[in-house]
Amino acid sequence: MRELMILIKYKFKMWSEKSRRVKSRSLLTRKKVNFPGWLLWLLIGGGFGGGFVVPLSILMSRAFKQLNAIQAPGTAFSMSEIMLGMYGFMIMLMLLLNDVPSIVYNVVSENEETSLLFSLPIKRSVIFLLKVFEILSGTSLIFAFFLPFLIGYAISIKMAWYLIPIYILDVAAFVLLIMGISSIIAAFVARFMSSTTAKRLNVIMYTMSILGVVAIFNILPGKMTSTNAAGWLKNYIGLATHPFLPSTWFLGAVKSEPRYIILLYGICALSLWGIWQLSSRYSTGISRKYKKKEIGKVSIASNKSLFGPLVNKDLKLLLREGNSLFLFIYPLVFPLIMLFAGSWNSAGVMLMAGFLSLDYSAVISGGLCFFEIQAYPTSALLPLSKKKIVFAKAFISSSIYTTIYIITILVALFIVKSGWIMMLTVPFVFVALFEMAIYGGVAYLSSPKNISANFQSAMKGTNGLKTAAIGGLISAGIVLSSFFGIANALKLSMFFRILLFPTAPIVTIIAFWYFLKDKVTEEHLKEMFEKA
């Protein structure tokens, strides 16, 4: 236990040191920041609790109160408990989907940290438990987003104070049970899954969870506070009360039903025993499974195509990067959710679609530059100019987001039945996306080493703020001005229409290029590569 506490202590130290390092190099203009790690965690926790958990818990408690009095047909549960059961089911699903690949990648597969830990005089079970603790911390964000629902329920039924510790225990048992099930599934899955697949799946699942959380927070509160909340919930009674689901055991335990208490705690204990068994036999090594092929039998297909080997290679890397899934889906899905929910009009949707596309175009391009730095100095030895390397990435990024922008217009057209004329903005948007992608590449290359350590990290801190600000300005300069210039919504004179479209987009594009041109000379880019 002492060893585990020491390792956890250093883990926290590393996490807080890392975030302080990043901040001190970027946002805080390289000033040394001297505040203790625990204070940082306290501030984060306080901010999250005060800004998110408390207000949403109050809102949710009101919604739960409305449902408390309504009995779910054919069950011993009220509709508010059905709601809680549904949340439990969603937490379970998300944690399982996240934890399994995460355990395979971070715990079972070999990596630098586990190799080092195995060389130290530390028990195998302690190393395993440390890694499980890390996974729990990683997925705690998903759990944290559901805290308001758990607290809201407790407030709504005016839970007695002496029942609160039992309620917390139920929640803990539920989470541990899922962790145990995930570990056992992961130990089995690791036999078939390579560490690369696990890594990719890990990021994809995390992305899906974030999208899930966004969707849930945009849809469920509205449904819950609607007058027909009970009618809507009736469709999910079967799912929320299915006797084989751990989420139902949790719900039953909260209701103090003996059979569910036995099931929840009994199977939780069993799964903890399973974790202990796994931990005492813990070893890594799934990353060295090779399908040996007879030499000479491996076909080396040519990459030559319309766009050439460089673009092909970049596309392959991009599509294999788990983070890119989120970056592709979000600019498309988010504005459309708002449009479906009726929260925004077409101008708002197009502005947001433009802004997100511009922002993510820079992120993708910067991320693609990360692959070049990952392969440095090999990438620097290729007979290619640095300009070509950066422009190929900008081409890929701008093409993808132009396509997404067109799809957004088409879907918006399908819903609101007007605005096809926005298609006229596509060429301007393509050029702006291309420029933005170049900016993203250059911004990544000029980032300090410690904040450019992975695909998405270039756009954090100062770079992220600058990119968002530029993306917002260009989006307004092209998309919004075009919208008002060509749409009939404003009764503008022809002079103002021409001024807004196409003059505003052209001026925006030229102004941005003027800002960029000195940054994309071969000499400057080469210097950036050297520094990166």
Partner 1 sequence: MIRTRNLTKKFAEKIAVNNLNLQIDAGEIYGFLGPNGAGKTTTIKMLTGILYPTSGEISIMGKNIRKHELEIKRAIGVVPDEPRMYHDLRGKEFVSFIMDIYDVDREEAKKRFDEICDVFDIDYLDEFIGEYSHGMSQKLMVATVLMRKPKVLFLDEPTVGLDARSARVLKMLLRKYADEGSTIFMTTHILEIAEKMCERIGIINEGDLIAEGTLDELRASGGKGEHLEDIFLSLTGANDEEMKEIVEGL
156 in contact with partner 1 (CB under 8 A) = no
Q: Which residues pair with 71 in a beta bridge?
A: 78
> Which of 116, 160, 298, 306 lies at the binding interface for partner 1 (CB under 8 A)?
298
Instruction: Tell me how far apart the alpha carbons of residues 141 and 137 are, in angstroms, rounded to a whole number.
Output: 8
Residue 524 binds to partner 1 (criterion: CB under 8 A): no
Query: Judged by CB under 8 A, which of 119, 235, 299, 493 binds partner 1?
Result: 299
Is the peptide bond between 258 and the residue preceding it cis, with omega within 30 degrees of 0? no
Residue 459 backbone phi and psi in degrees, to 5: -100, 25
Binding-site size, partner 1 (CB under 8 A): 43
User: Sign (positive/negative) of CA torsion 234, 155, 251, 202?
Assistant: positive
Q: Which of 30, 320, 449, 517 binds partner 1 (CB under 8 A)?
A: 320
- Interface residue with partner 1 among 160, 378, 495, 518 (CB under 8 A) is 378
User: Judged by CB under 8 A, does residue 292 bind partner 1?
Assistant: yes
- Nearest residue to 87 via CA among 104, 69, 109, 63: 63
Under rule CB under 8 A, residue 116 binds partner 1: no
Determine if 381 is a binding residue for partner 1 (CB under 8 A): yes
The only residue of 60, 135, 310, 525 in contact with partner 1, by rule CB under 8 A: 310
Query: In a 3-state reduction of DSSP, which class is residue 322?
Result: helix
CA distance 405 to 351: 11
Q: What is the 3-state secondary structure (H, E, C) of 31-73?
A: CCCCCCHHHHHHHHHHHHHHHHHHHHHHHHHHHHHHHHCCECC
Choose between 319 and 416: whose C-beta lies nearer to partner 1.
Answer: 319
Among 11, 21, 313, 497, binds partner 1 (CB under 8 A): 313
Stretch that binds partner 1, among 47-55, 56-64, 374-382, 501-509 (CB under 8 A): 374-382
| Span 193-212, contacts to partner 1 by CB under 8 A | 194-196
380 binds partner 1 (CB under 8 A): yes
The binder of partner 1 chosen from 68, 75, 287, 403 (CB under 8 A):
287
CA 245-246-251 angle, to 5 degrees, is: 100
Give 401's contacts (C-beta < 8 A, 6+ positions apart): 331, 357, 358, 360, 361, 364, 433
- CB-CB neighbours of 349 under 10 Å: 24
Cα separation, 225 vs 387, in Å, equals: 54
User: HSE on the CB side for 235, CA within 13 Å?
Assistant: 5
In the complex with partner 1, the residue whose CB is nearer, 105 or 334, is 105
Q: Does 17 bind partner 1 (CB under 8 A)?
A: no
Taking the complex as a whole, the smallest distance from the CB of residue 527 to partner 1 amounts, in Å, to 8
Pick the closer one to partner 1 by CB: 378 or 493.
378
With vertex at residue 518, the alpha carbon angle to CA 515 and CA 523, rounded to the nearest 5 degrees, is: 155
**Contact pattern from residue 457 through residue 476 relative to partner 1, giving x for each residue in contact according to CB under 8 A and a dash for the rest:** --------------------
290 belongs to the binding site for partner 1 (CB under 8 A): yes
Q: Which of 375, 416, 423, 511 binds partner 1 (CB under 8 A)?
A: 375
Q: Is 383 in the site for partner 1 (CB under 8 A)?
A: yes
Containing H/E element for 286? none
Spatial separation of the C-alpha atoms in residues 358 and 409, rounded to whole Å: 15
Q: Which two tokens stand for residue 72?
A: 């779910």
Three-class DSSP category at 71: strand
Q: Which of 382, 490, 498, 511 binds partner 1 (CB under 8 A)?
A: 382
Q: Which residues bind partner 1 (CB under 8 A)?
A: 194-196, 287-288, 290-296, 298-304, 308-310, 312-313, 316-317, 320-321, 371, 374-378, 380-385, 526-527, 530
